[in-house]
Amino acid sequence: MITATTIYCDTVDDDVTLLVYKDGTAKCTGYRKYGNPGGKPLKTKSNKAGQPLRCEPSACERLIQYRDRLLAEETTKE
């Protein structure tokens, strides 16, 4: 089972989809596109935004909060 939601992420200035799997792992589609700090897509967006943008999935509060909320809801259902 996968649960997903799409949010606006100001960290990368784009919409991203947060995915949470039944085993508790979580991924963000923004990481695939923007996860490389020296990568062209994020560098281009940083220049347009006039500020540095960074994608750090291991420290992403939005992803962690979404995962934890879903896991807590599952626990209360049981």
Rounded CA Rg of the chain: 14
Q: Is the pLDDT higher at 54 or at 20? A: 20
Q: Please report the DSSP string for 34-76 in residue order.
A: H-STT-HHHHHHHHHHTS-----GGG-HHHHHHHHHHHHHHHH
The pLDDT of residue 69 is 93
Are the beta carbons of 42 and 12 closer than 8 angstroms? yes
Ordered by start, the domain boundaries in the chain are 2-77
Q: Dump pLDDT digits (tens) for 2-41.
A: 899 999 998 888 899 999 998 999 999 888 887 766 567 7
Give CA–CA dist 64/51, Å, rounded. 24
Mean pLDDT (whole number) for 40-49: 78
The pLDDT of residue 38 is 59
